Amino acid sequence: MILKTALHLVEEYSAANEFRQGDKQGMGPAKIWKPPDPERYKVNVDGATFESQKKAGIGVVIRDEKGEVVVALSKLVNAPLGAVEIEAKAMEAGVVFARDVGIREAEFEGDSLIVCIALQGGEGAPSSIQNVLEGTMELVSGFRSFAFSHVKRQGNVPAHLLAQYAKETENYVVWLEECPNFLEHTCAHDISVVSHSYP
């Protein structure tokens, strides 16, 4: 528990420093959700820990260039994973899910700075997630094109809500070509913000 808490604090500290440096340079992580390039898909992922249940949740939402939800996943993980570990598993699940629904050109996005930097070729990821990261890179090599990007938490709300929803499931739930009711407002908000920011 002490190790998991320490890793979580290190991630928050790193994220805070990255935000400050980025703000100074005008190059911080995205604050809002942005649609993918035409003919590509944006795969947003998030993980959540349910400490009292000794379980965790994963949320994945895949949207097209118009911001429409193509498919979404809420998955329960029957293991007491820490914050960094479940974020790494969420990114892996996002890659697997995108592959399984037939997507081959995607941008994978999450709000864990440590995971995103590691998948972009950076260093500093804890040893507890190295195998998951390596497996993710092996999986994504089968895509025609892919990228990993970091977004602030407020730009990743639908994936976060799906991760939290996993607490209500026995295993997993998939929404194909429909937006879950509890995501409609946040997805519409994302599209609205983008249209005002990038006319």
CA atoms within 13 A on the CB side of 73: 25
Provide the pLDDT for residue 25. 38
User: Crossing angle of helices 184-197/157-165, nearest 10°?
Assistant: 170
Beta-bridge mates of residue 58: 47, 75
DSSP-based three-state secondary structure for 153: helix
Residue span of the structural domain in which 68 resides: 2-197
Distance CA 166, CA 56 (A): 8
Asked if pLDDT for residue 85 goes beyond 80, the answer is yes
Provide the pLDDT for residue 20. 42
| Of residues 151, 179, 155, 154, the one with CA closest to residue 165 | 179
| Tens-place pLDDT, residues 140-176 | 999 999 999 999 999 999 999 999 999 999 999 999 9
Distance CA 168, CA 57 (A): 10
CATH number at residue 91: 3.30.420.10
Asked if pLDDT for residue 7 goes beyond 80, the answer is no
The number of domains in the chain is 1
Distance CA 33, CA 44 (A): 9
DSSP state, 79? S
Q: Which residue has the tokens 């995971």?
A: 115
Provide the pLDDT for residue 134. 95
Q: Which amino acid would we find at residue 40?
A: R
Higher-confidence position of 161 and 196: 161
Provide the pLDDT for residue 22. 40
